[in-house]
Structure 1
Amino acid sequence: MDLRILPLAVTMMAGPQIVAAVILVTTARPVRVCLAFVLGVAVATAAGVAIARGLCALLGQAVSPGSPSDRGSAATVFQLVLVGLLALVAVKNYVRRRTVEIPKWLGSLMEAGPGKALMSGLLVILLMPSDIAVMLTVGANLEQHQVGWTAALPFIAATVLIAALPLLVYLLFGDRARRAMPRVRAWLMTHSWAVNIAACLIFIVLILTP
């Protein structure tokens, strides 16, 4: 797998995904709840990459994915289409930044238990268009290099690590983290549009970087 794919793990958790992780670390049982969320993220990412790899393999039987250096390959064309879509999403987030509302499901996580946190970790990966796009890009990259699903383990591990960062900060910094996390949560919930734009731009830069 191309090592340039690894930074896409940041995009996987940018947006409502990292906001959810921060909210969960401010709940009454943060350790149990956050561990359940991270487990959900790990399972969803591993399954999503496996499915994406399979879809790209099927596509490769009909349309040759080409070599990684071939700018006209089907996989590369697919990535460039994603760039256009992500640019539109970024513009949409900026235009609507003053009217954006926090999703109700994010607010409900403040009372979440381990079961709901686990389900949130699964769905926040499998149902987010940006994450689906990233996993399809990883699958296309695996197909281009003709390697199996296990080659994506560093990407999966990086995604899980980022999902666990709020919990790690909470455990490492103790009372200071406990006092700071609610403020971080409030900022992220009111500036989610900026986080979404940043995620789109990171994804675009990584795809276009030779």
Structure 2
Amino acid sequence: MDLQVLPLAVTMMVGPQIMSAILLVTTRHAVRASLAFLAGVTAATAAGLALSRGVFALLGQGVSLGDPSDRGSAGTIIQFVLVALLLAAAVRSYAKRETAKPPRWLGTLMDAGPRKAFEIGTLVILLMPSDIMVMLTVGAHLEQRDLNLAAALPFLAATVLIAALPLLALLLFRKRMSRAMPKVREWMNTHSWVVNIAAYVIFILLIL
């Protein structure tokens, strides 16, 4: 897998996804809940990539996605359509920035155990529009270059690593992070629209 797609792992975790990871390291069962969250992220991302690869494999049987270097190929056009959808989402997030609030379910993570954390880790990947579009982009990338699912393992590993950053920071710098994480959480709660737009912009820039 080339470097064009690998950085999209950043987009996978920007937004409520990384906010969830940060919230979990401020809870009473931080380590256990965070590990369960990472397991959910891993399972959901692997399943999403497999499904996306399968979809484009079926699509490729009827419609050639073309050469990756051809800007007019079907595969490239699909990626541009995904970019356009995220651009519209970014504009929508900016327009509603004054009333933007983090999802209500984020508040439930304060008392989350491993089971709840695993469920959230799964859902923040499979139900987030930005993540769905990223995984579709990776699927189109694999099909267009005739790569199997194993080629997406670096992308999966990068996604999980980014999701694990709050936990790793807590384990390495426990005292400092115990003080810093609540402040980061408060900032992200009041600036959720900035985080969402950042995710969209990163995706757009990496694809274009």
TM-score (norm 1): 0.97
Aligned to 1:84: 84
Aligned to 2:41: 41
Query: How far does residue 123 in structure 1 lie from its aligned partner after superposition?
Result: 0.6
Matches within 5 A, 1:20-169: 20-169=20-169
Aligned to 2:175: 175
Query: What is the aligned-residue identity percentage?
Result: 66
**Given residue 134 of structure 1, which amino acid in structure 2 is its aligned partner?**
V
Structure 2 counterpart SS, 1:65: coil
Query: How far does residue 2 in structure 1 lie from its aligned partner after superposition?
Result: 2.5
Query: How far does residue 101 in structure 1 lie from its aligned partner after superposition?
Result: 2.1
Structure 1 Cα separation of the partners of residues 111 and 2 of structure 2: 40
**Given residue 113 of structure 1, which amino acid in structure 2 is its aligned partner?**
G
Aligned to 1:198: 198
Structure 2 Cα separation of the partners of residues 150 and 183 of structure 1: 39
Query: How far does residue 118 in structure 1 lie from its aligned partner after superposition?
Result: 0.3
Structure 2 Cα separation of the partners of residues 154 and 144 of structure 1: 18
Structure 1 Cα separation of the partners of residues 17 and 57 of structure 2: 28
Query: Which sits farther off after the overlay, 137-146 or 66-75?
Result: 66-75
The CA RMSD measured in Å over matched residues stands at 0.7
Aligned to 2:3: 3
- Do the aligned residues in 2 keep the contact of 1:36 with 1:117 (CA within 8 Å)? yes
Structure 1 Cα separation of the partners of residues 203 and 16 of structure 2: 16
Query: How far does residue 62 in structure 1 lie from its aligned partner after superposition?
Result: 1.3
- Do the aligned residues in 2 keep the contact of 1:2 with 1:141 (CA within 8 Å)? no
Structure 1 Cα separation of the partners of residues 188 and 102 of structure 2: 10
Structure 1 Cα separation of the partners of residues 111 and 119 of structure 2: 14
Query: How far does residue 82 in structure 1 lie from its aligned partner after superposition?
Result: 1.1
Superposed CA offset, 1:117-139 (max 9, x none): 00100010001110000000000
Q: Where in structure 2 are there 5+ consecutive unaligned residues?
A: none
Query: How far does residue 73 in structure 1 lie from its aligned partner after superposition?
Result: 1.4
Structure 2 counterpart SS, 1:3: coil
Structure 2 Cα separation of the partners of residues 182 and 125 of structure 1: 23
TM-score (norm 2): 0.98
**Given residue 187 of structure 1, which amino acid in structure 2 is its aligned partner?**
W
Structure 2 counterpart SS, 1:188: helix
- Do the aligned residues in 1 keep the contact of 2:75 with 2:144 (CA within 8 Å)? yes
**Given residue 112 of structure 1, which amino acid in structure 2 is its aligned partner?**
A
Query: How far does residue 39 in structure 1 lie from its aligned partner after superposition?
Result: 0.6
Query: How far does residue 102 in structure 1 lie from its aligned partner after superposition?
Result: 2.2
Superposed CA offset, 1:41-100 (max 9, x none): 011101100100000001111110111111111111011111111111111111101101
**Given residue 17 of structure 2, which amino acid in structure 1 is its aligned partner?**
Q
Runs of 4+ in 1 over 6 A off after TM superposition: none
Structure 1 counterpart SS, 2:173: helix
**Given residue 136 of structure 1, which amino acid in structure 2 is its aligned partner?**
L
**Given residue 30 of structure 1, which amino acid in structure 2 is its aligned partner?**
A
